[in-house]
Structure 1
Amino acid sequence: MKKVMLGAVIIAAGLLSTANSQIQEGNWMVGSSLLSSRFGLNTGAGYDLAIQPKAAYFIKDNVALGGYVNLGIGKTTKGSPTAFDYGVGALGRYFLSPGEQGVDNLLNHGRWFFEGNAGIGGRSVENADSTTGLDFGVGPGYSYFITPNIGLEGLVKYVGRTGFGNEGLNSNITFNVGLSIYLPTAHAKRLADDAK
């Protein structure tokens, strides 16, 4: 019984420390939002499904900078034309430390974060309003580490596009679910060498 308890304590300590080790300076985050739902702020808004691959490098502990690509489709109502979303740009993430600003982690092996992005993107709808120009967004999220290097993530984000086209500005609130892999630099180099 003592061995079982000792083993449980060691595993729990390992899980507690993993939420810190992935987000240290020099590590990489590679992942994607696999499902994105949109709640429209404009008249006639509907739903969206999108895939959003992203990669970021931790320039210091808790701070990652990188890029993203956005590809998605959407429909306002049954029988309405299909919309195509696209975008590419830079993103940044800031992970909150446990207890920072009075915010404690919901679970011991997870982390709250804020994500922001800016780039070029657009929304094209057949025979309807379209926008191409500045693509931007900001919002809070939570990464729950299901293994030491894989985080299951939820993200609520205000996203907008402004620029050229029939519609000067469109904006939405999205809910995204996805996975991210956190790789120490040495491990990422080893994977790149193995791929050669």
Structure 2
Amino acid sequence: MKKIIFYLFLFYGISTHVNAQIQKGTKTIGGQISFSSRSVSSTATIGSSSRTESESQTNLSLAPIGGIMITDNIMVGTEVKLVVLGSSSGSGSGIGLLPFGRYYYPAGEKFYIFGELALGFGSVKGGSSSTSFSEWHIGPGASYFLKDNVAIEAALNFNSLKYKDSSLANNSTTLHIGLQFYF
């Protein structure tokens, strides 16, 4: 019986220490960087002839992030996404605002797994044209605390981006790497 009580107190002590870093009221600020590259091809058929076009696309994104823990393990925040776009047909840049929600699950003394959902909007400009877009992403991630208030993060998100003047959605999977400060 003494061993059971000892292990219960030990588990409680470890759980309390782990959750202290992401408890209600904790604020966070940091950022993420991501890179993606892909090839897109489309085929158009008119009558009996068809034509295939392909294009390569490269995106680099830098996203400052801020948030607050509204309860233990639940964060809401905003990501400001700054994007540089490049393709075989030209280049451009954009900015987006994506409010998000995260649920953290403690998986070790300094390690958390989280799920994230973000919905947002923004605009891109390339050459003499510009357009607006809507975006959402969902995916898992992990935070490893280097110190009590500093964590390195990685997330793998499924993204869906839809431009205002297009009926097609641009779907992709992107790896994000970031650093967060908790205070």
TM-score by shorter chain over 0.5? yes
Give me the identity figure in percent: 25
| Secondary structure in 2 matching 1:22 | helix
- More displaced 10-residue stretch of structure 1: 133-142 or 115-124: 115-124
Structure 1 length normalisation: TM-score? 0.70
Which protein is bigger by CA-based radius of gyration? 2
Matched, 1:145 2:140: no
Deviations 1:122-143 (A, max 9, x none): 4443378x75232211111111
Alignment-derived partner of residue 157 in structure 1: 157
More strand by share: 2
Pairing partner for 1:82 from 81, 91, 96: 91
Tell me what 2:84 maps to: 73
Counterpart residue identity of residue 24, structure 2: E
Q: CA deviation at 1:65?
A: 0.7
Higher share in helix: 1
* Aligned counterpart, 1:102: none
Gaps of 5+ in 1: 1-13, 98-104, 184-196
Q: Say which SS state the counterpart of residue 96 (structure 1) adopts.
A: strand
Whether the 8 Å CA contact 2:29–2:180 is kept in 1: the answer is yes
How many pairs were matched up?
Answer: 158
CA RMSD of aligned residues (A): 2.6
Residue aligning to 2:115: 114
Pair 1:114–1:121, CA change in 2 (3 A): same
Q: Hey, what's the Cα distance between the residues in 2 that align with 1:173 and 1:39?
A: 10
The answer for the alignment partner of 1:56 in structure 2 is 67
What secondary structure, in the 3-state scheme, does the structure 2 residue paired with 1:159 have? strand
Quote the offset at 1:72 in angstroms.
Answer: 1.3
Whole-Å separation in 1 of the counterparts to 2:27 and 2:75: 8
The Cα shift of 1:59 comes to 0.7
Give the structure, 1 or 2, with the largest relative contact order (CA under 8 Å, sep 6 or more): 1
| Inter-partner Cα distance in structure 1 for 2:37 and 2:145 | 27
* Structure 2 unaligned regions, length at least 5: 1-12, 42-54
